[in-house]
Amino acid sequence: MNELFRRIRYLLNRRRIDAELESDMEFHREMAARAGRSNFGNTLRMREQSREAWGWTWLDRLIQDLNFTGRTLVRWPGFTVTAVLVLAIGIGVNVAAFSLFNMVALEPLPVRDPGSLVRLERRSPQDYTSEMPYSSAEFYGQHAKSLEAMIGVLGVPPMQMNDDVQGTSASFATANYFSELGTPAAAGRLFEPSRESESTAPPVVVLSYTLWQHRFNGDPGVVGRTVRLNRKPATVIGVTAYEFASLGGQTPDVWIPIAQQPYFVTGSTVLTNPEANAVRMWGRLASGVTAKMAAEELKSLTNELRRRHPKDIWDDEFIDIHPGGHLQVMQPEMYQVAALVAVLTLLILAVACANLGGLLLARAVSREREIGIRMVIGATRARIFRQLATESVVLAMLGATAGLALSSLGVRVALTQFHAPGWLSARPDWRVMLFTFGVAIAAAVFFGLMPALQIARQKQHKTIVRQVLIAAQVAGSCLLLIVAGLLVRATLHVLYTDPGYACEQLLSVDAQLGHHNYSPEQARAYLDAMRERIGALPGVKSVSLVKLPPLGHAISRMDEEINGHQVPVYPNWVTPEFFRTMGIPIRLGRTFYAGEKSAVIVSESMARREWPGQNPVGQLLPNGDAKDTVVGVSGDAHANAANDDDAVEQYWPAQQADMPDMALMVRTAGKPDSLPPMIKGISESLDVKLFPEISQMKVLYQDKVLDLIENIAKAITLTGLVAVVVAAVGVIGLVSFSVSQRMKETAIRLALGAGKVQLLRALLMQFVWPVAIGMVVGTGCALAGSRVLRKVLFGVSNLDFYGYAGALGVLSAILMLAAVLPARRALRLDLARTLHNE
């Protein structure tokens, strides 16, 4: 420790100590001269060696290197600007992607003690649901000592506020919701456990900041006013703050205490029914309790629940605990998407690095003289290498700073574009900073290492390294462009083909009868009456029932084992006229008979997969202990998985017991715009307590499918084009460099009468192979890797010819242009002057 202090003292007083050393040596020399000796040697060099004993030489060298780097970068401003720009793009894209991931999965919510919040979900080896019965949640909350608090949220279909035609989104939350999160109110007060826990408490609502601003013009006088929700009066007690961070990223317009749910939804038993998985549950771990300890306690509580309700708890069920204090609880599928995005953005960085590596090598040739002189006056290879490495790191840091700025800008635009919650900010936090730093260092290694080694060994004239770099750039941009091409094709496909059913003239009507405690008989009566009276409306062509309306709130998926491999199957329960109503063709066999049992209709993809070359009609499919007979084959609809071409459907005839869960599908002859108010009127006349959610399929399709794929395709195309532009800059740079290197040769050839084509060929020949190899490698990677894209390609093959051809065509054209433009300079040479100069 003392030694370190002394070293630091030496560093701080270096000038004085160096002077002392000089004086010592001066004295030594004087004395030696007196004694008749005069060969003292090089004092400067000796002083340098003595200083090495202090252990600060590296710092001196670093400062020298940094100084020199600064001068070098200023001396070639064109190169510096290009390099920083290329790096800023490469690094910025990665930082932006990471920032978004950070926001969603890493950054803790700005709530009280987010680290102890956990998300609790039911899981067993076979089953999983993100929601649980309220009675179970309550049971866990009361009995678990490892949980300090239980927070539950019940999402419901939009409710009718006052006399609005448009629904207002609403969530029922436990009374401790806001106090547990430590949320302040923008006006009035939020729920208080002491006042809103009982169902007998006076009905109240809390408004979201957005609703308050848009509907009530931010009037603070709204507090205390009465609004009607589903015709039930309730008092507004307060407004959430603009920066309010909710759990799980939910942003409903109104919040209602969960205890008052039966008041607003008449007849609902959702809070008491132990079968209704309806509530999303969060918990707060008691202090000193780990997630593992809590999991053990909850497991024993689950077993206790099984004793009470044996048929409602699955075999081997347990409560899955995830960190809950983030915007999103990451599911395995989301990590796959994140990995895919990471691969694509890292590819851009790789292209940028390869490009910059080429530029550095090219510049090294023009720095030959400088480096040569330094070598000759005693610099070692290691010293030259260190100097070049310093330059790379400085460039990378400049690029990273610019990239960080670029990414913050991008994230800011994205946040406003997607109406992100107010608490999300584009300002980079320490994780983003650290990531940026790491990426910058990695980039410096990628683009700087190979050229620096080549230069330090004085081998910058070797073309092979440049060719490898070109091939790498071309391969990377080729892969990116192909992915972009496929996604563009997918977008066009979705935009210009029908989704497997004609959605233009379709409406879905979902009254959620089960939530209003309808018995199967009551539900049947209501649905029959609705069918009859809607069917009688002018312009209605057909009406049918369906359990899971397409693009609705619930999606069900089962992984069914077919011939030994898992196939994701989307099940649905329908009435016979479903296929006609939806416009899904029956390819083989027939639709169901009324009241039919033990029958199943499969989609054509499933039939092809399970019984290739056989007649699927009449085949048997296991269904629990019984067997269902396939009575028909329908067209592929992908109604609940529009993006996944591997998804197949299976339909069962709806039975009496399914009735409370059924929704209506309505097909009209013309535009269905005028129907919703009429349908609403019919439902009201049947049961005034119901508020059916009426959706136009084409609107849902636009919102849920088209907007999504358009945004994805836009983003990917943009990244692909960025990569191509970066690669083109690299090719332009390298070709013009190679042209200037071969001025003399070109001039002589011209003088001897070579044709232009011959000349261009001679100049560009060295780039043909790398480009060709790069394209082959890139296409190969795309062919191999694009399988993972299938799920987002909306039915376009991942080997789609036009996607590949388009991408390769664009790439070739741009590269050709990038090569020929600078090469043309060679053809306009002033022969006399060039030859004279050389």
Find out whether 621 and 579 touch, Cβ atoms under 8 Å: no
Rounded to 5 degrees, φ, ψ at 624 are 65, -125
Residue 495 binds another protein, judged by CB under 8 A: no
What lies within 8 Å, CB to CB, of 596 at 6+ separation is 576, 631, 653
What lies within 8 Å, CB to CB, of 243 at 6+ separation is 110, 422, 423
Choosing from 12, 13, 16, 32, the residue that interacts with another protein (CB under 8 A) is 32
Question: What minimum distance in Å lies between the beta carbon of 63 and another protein?
Answer: 20
**Where does this chain touch another protein (CB under 8 A) — which range of 51-59, 120-128, 299-307, 802-810?**
51-59
Number of C-alpha atoms within 13 angstroms, CB side, residue 691? 23
d(CA 746, CA 826): 7
Question: What minimum distance in Å lies between the beta carbon of 457 and another protein?
Answer: 20
Residue 36 binds another protein, judged by CB under 8 A: no
Residue 379 binds another protein, judged by CB under 8 A: no
Task: Show the tokens assigned to 182.
Answer: 């430590």
Task: Show the tokens assigned to 618.
Answer: 């009449």
What lies within 8 Å, CB to CB, of 580 at 6+ separation is 542, 544, 591, 667
Choosing from 25, 588, 621, 810, the residue that interacts with another protein (CB under 8 A) is 25
**Where does this chain touch another protein (CB under 8 A) — which range of 4-12, 636-644, 776-784, 800-808?**
4-12
Choosing from 74, 165, 376, 752, the residue that interacts with another protein (CB under 8 A) is 376
Residue 2 binds another protein, judged by CB under 8 A: yes
Residue 790 binds another protein, judged by CB under 8 A: no
Nearer to another protein, 31 or 343 (CB): 31
Residue 53 binds another protein, judged by CB under 8 A: yes
Residue 40 binds another protein, judged by CB under 8 A: yes
Residue 33 binds another protein, judged by CB under 8 A: no
d(CA 411, CA 414): 5
d(CA 515, CA 681): 20
d(CA 620, CA 322): 41
Residue 375 binds another protein, judged by CB under 8 A: no
Residue 374 binds another protein, judged by CB under 8 A: no
Count of residues that interact with another protein, criterion CB under 8 A: 32
Q: Is 683 helix (H, G, I), strand (E, B) or coil?
A: helix
Residue 3 binds another protein, judged by CB under 8 A: yes
Nearer to another protein, 49 or 497 (CB): 49
**Where does this chain touch another protein (CB under 8 A) — which range of 5-13, 86-94, 617-625, 726-734?**
5-13
Q: Is 150 helix (H, G, I), strand (E, B) or coil?
A: strand
**Where does this chain touch another protein (CB under 8 A) — which range of 297-305, 334-342, 372-380, 644-652?**
372-380
Residue 377 binds another protein, judged by CB under 8 A: yes
Choosing from 12, 16, 49, 115, the residue that interacts with another protein (CB under 8 A) is 49
Question: What minimum distance in Å lies between the beta carbon of 15 and another protein?
Answer: 15
In Å, what is the CA distance from 162 to each residue of 141, 169, 171, 204, 240? 35, 13, 17, 15, 20
Question: What minimum distance in Å lies between the beta carbon of 62 and another protein?
Answer: 20
Nearer to another protein, 33 or 799 (CB): 33
Tell me the CA end-to-end span of the chain in Å, nearest whole number: 62
**Where does this chain touch another protein (CB under 8 A) — which range of 49-57, 137-145, 334-342, 560-568?**
49-57
Nearer to another protein, 43 or 266 (CB): 43
Largest CA distance in the chain: 127
Indicate the burial class of 307 (C-beta count within 10 angstroms; 0-12, 13-18, 19 or more).
exposed
DSSP secondary structure, 410-441, as one string: HHHHHHHHTT--TT---S--HHHHHHHHHHHH
Choosing from 13, 15, 16, 23, the residue that interacts with another protein (CB under 8 A) is 23
Residue 31 binds another protein, judged by CB under 8 A: yes
**Where does this chain touch another protein (CB under 8 A) — which range of 2-10, 170-178, 262-270, 790-798?**
2-10
What lies within 8 Å, CB to CB, of 101 at 6+ separation is 338
Find out whether 283 and 120 touch, Cβ atoms under 8 Å: yes
**Where does this chain touch another protein (CB under 8 A) — which range of 25-33, 179-187, 496-504, 731-739?**
25-33
d(CA 556, CA 705): 17
Choosing from 15, 36, 38, 42, the residue that interacts with another protein (CB under 8 A) is 42
Residue 370 binds another protein, judged by CB under 8 A: no
Residue 55 binds another protein, judged by CB under 8 A: yes
Tell me the sheet residues that pair with 226.
235
Question: What's the distance, CA 256 to chain centroid?
Answer: 32
Choosing from 13, 16, 30, 372, the residue that interacts with another protein (CB under 8 A) is 30
Question: What minimum distance in Å lies between the beta carbon of 54 and another protein?
Answer: 6
Residue 24 binds another protein, judged by CB under 8 A: yes
Give long-range contacts, CB 8 A cutoff, 24+ apart: 620-624.
621/650, 623/598
Question: What minimum distance in Å lies between the beta carbon of 34 and another protein?
Answer: 8
Nearer to another protein, 38 or 563 (CB): 38
DSSP 500: S
d(CA 644, CA 91): 32
Choosing from 12, 13, 16, 52, the residue that interacts with another protein (CB under 8 A) is 52
Indicate the burial class of 339 (C-beta count within 10 angstroms; 0-12, 13-18, 19 or more).
exposed
Choosing from 288, 310, 378, 753, the residue that interacts with another protein (CB under 8 A) is 378
What lies within 8 Å, CB to CB, of 605 at 6+ separation is 636, 648
**Where does this chain touch another protein (CB under 8 A) — which range of 39-47, 161-169, 191-199, 816-824?**
39-47
Choosing from 15, 38, 41, 369, the residue that interacts with another protein (CB under 8 A) is 41
Find out whether 224 and 182 touch, Cβ atoms under 8 Å: no
Residue 371 binds another protein, judged by CB under 8 A: no
Nearer to another protein, 37 or 462 (CB): 37
Nearer to another protein, 2 or 166 (CB): 2
Instruction: Using DSSP bridges, classify how beta strands 626-634 and 232-240 pair: parallel, antiparallel or unpaired.
Output: unpaired
Residue 46 binds another protein, judged by CB under 8 A: yes
Q: Please give the helix or strand (H or E) that residue 456 lies within, else none.
A: helix 430-456
Residue 27 binds another protein, judged by CB under 8 A: yes
- In this structure, the chain runs to a length of 838
Question: What minimum distance in Å lies between the beta carbon of 376 and another protein?
Answer: 6
Residue 10 binds another protein, judged by CB under 8 A: yes
Residue 381 binds another protein, judged by CB under 8 A: no
d(CA 466, CA 451): 9
For residues 688, 691, 696, 700, the Cα torsion angle rounded to the nearest 10 degrees is -170
Question: What minimum distance in Å lies between the beta carbon of 461 and another protein?
Answer: 24
Q: How many CB atoms lie within 10 A of CB 740?
A: 15
Nearer to another protein, 49 or 655 (CB): 49
Nearer to another protein, 42 or 200 (CB): 42
Task: Show the tokens assigned to 666.
Answer: 């309505």
**Where does this chain touch another protein (CB under 8 A) — which range of 42-50, 347-355, 465-473, 808-816?**
42-50
Interacting residues toward another protein by CB under 8 A: 2-3, 6-7, 10, 20-21, 23-25, 27-28, 30-32, 34, 40-42, 45-47, 49-55, 376-378
